[in-house]
Amino acid sequence: QRVRYDEDEGTVTLEYEGQNTAGGCQFLQKQISKNFSYFTVKIENYGKLGRIAVGLARRNYPLHRRLGGNKDSVAFDCHGGKLLYQRRREMATPAQEGDVIGCGIKYDTNSKGPGSNTVVFFTRNGDEIGHQTVESPKGGLYPTVGLSSKGEKVIVLRPRQR
């Protein structure tokens, strides 16, 4: 366990406690759905390297893998301002400590569930900064935060619909 998960009075704090930069992911418990389509985290501490990633992954995504490295996850790389989905591409300027990063799904009437294309979007401080069309895996997508260096810390804000 490289990522410490603390829940106190409805507030969830995630902090990297590993000894190296191998990284770790932490899923939030609830699957993204039409009733829970968006989540946000506040960057409390960038830690040693600042490799925080916020996104979505399939439920059984390997916790030691970097988010966005393949088609089973998609993420915003807060440090580099990059969209991570099978490859890296420019999306926005890097996030700063104190920024609130959001990730969600845009549902439409054509969504057909697993195997269909889904639009995942990202926000910073409430403003949309980019999106990516991804294939929705069987079992759905889960809010996921990736942390990779000592001291990285985020607070998960109350999930909501956007």
The C-alpha angle with vertex 131 and arms to 151 and 11, in degrees rounded to 5, equals 40
Each residue's pLDDT tens digit in the chain (162 positions)?
A: 566 666 666 667 777 776 665 566 676 767 788 777 899 999 999 988 888 999 999 888 887 778 887 778 999 999 999 999 988 888 899 999 999 999 999 876 555 655 678 899 999 999 999 999 988 888 889 899 988 888 899 998 865 544
Alpha-carbon gap, residue 108 to 126, rounded angstroms: 21
Nearest to 101 by CA among 152, 35, 138: 152
Q: pTM for the full model?
A: 0.86
